[in-house]
Amino acid sequence: MSLSDLPAPDAETVYVHVDGERQGPMSRRALYESIRAGRLDTSALFWLPSLGEQWARIGDHPDLVADLRPAVPDTPFETPETHPTESLADQTAVTSTVPTGPRPAATVSTEDDRLDGIFSSLVEQSWDYLQEHRFASHIDEVFLGAVITSTLDAGYSLIDLSSDGENHYLRFENLADGSRVVVRLRHLTGDLAAAKVLGQRASAVVGYGEKMANAGTVVSALKAELKSGFMGSSEPGSIAVDGDLTSGYVYAQVDLFLNIDDYVQPDYTTDHARLSEHLASCVHALRKYLRGRFAE
Amino acid sequence: MFNFITKFAHNAELRESKDEIMVGEIVRAMARRGCPSIGFNAGDDRQRIRFLTHTDPLLHSVFVTLDRRTGSGMVSEALLGSKATLTLTAEVKNKLSDPDDLVSMYKTDLANLFKLPVVGGVKLNHELNSVFASRTQIIEIGHYVGRGVEGVDALGVFLNTGIEELAEKLRPYKKA
Q: How far is A34 from chain B (nearest CA, A)?
A: 21
- Give the minimum alpha-carbon distance from A139 to chain B in angstroms, rounded to a whole number: 7
User: What's the one-letter identity of residue A10?
Assistant: D
* A:227-256 residues touching chain B, CB 8 A cutoff: 228-229, 231, 233-234, 240, 242, 244, 246-247, 249, 251, 253
Alpha-carbon distance of A174 to A208, in angstroms, equals 11
Test the A interface: residue of B40, B48, B141 with most A CBs within 10 Å: B40
Beta carbons of A49 and A13 less than 8 angstroms apart: yes
DSSP state of A264: B
pLDDT of residue A3: 74
At A229, which amino acid appears?
G
One-letter amino acid of B94: N
| Separation of CA A70 from chain center | 43
A270 phi and psi angles, rounded to 5 deg = -120, 130
Residues of A whose CB is below 8 A from B30: 145
* Residues A268, B52: C-beta atoms closer than 8 Å: yes
- Show the DSSP H helices in chain A as ranges: 28-36, 88-96, 105-153, 192-198, 215-228, 272-293
pLDDT value, residue A121? 86
Most A CBs within 10 A among B38, B49, B152, hence the mutation to make, goes to B38
**From A228, which residue of chain B is nearest by alpha-carbon distance?**
B2
pTM of the model: 0.68
Alpha-carbon gap: B132 to the closest alpha carbon of chain A (Å): 19
The DSSP H or E segment spanning A93 is: helix A88-96
| ipTM of this complex prediction, to 2 decimal places | 0.79
Q: Is A160 in contact with B9 (Cβ distance < 8 A)?
A: yes
Residues in chain A predicted with pLDDT less than 50, given as ranges, are 72-106
Segments of chain B scoring below 50 in pLDDT: 1-2
User: Per the CB < 8 Å rule, is A246 touching B4?
Assistant: no
Give the start-end residues of each E strand in A194-278: 201-211, 239-244, 249-259
State whether B42 and A19 contact (CB < 8 Å).
no
List, for residues B75-90, the tens digit of each pLDDT value: 555 555 678 889 999 9
| Chain A touched by B147 (CB under 8 Å) | no
Q: What is the dihedral of CA A259, A261, A262, A266, to 10 degrees?
A: 170
Number of neighbouring beta carbons within 10 Å of residue A156: 23
**CA-to-CA distance for A226 and A229, rounded, in angstroms?**
5
A17, A46 in Cβ contact below 8 A?
yes
How many Å lie between the alpha carbon of B61 and the closest alpha carbon of chain A? 13
Kindly determine whether residue A184 and residue B4, on different chains, have CB atoms separated by under 8 Å. yes
Count CA within 13 A, CB hemisphere, residue B71: 20
Partner residue facing A161 (CB), from B5, B23, B96: B23
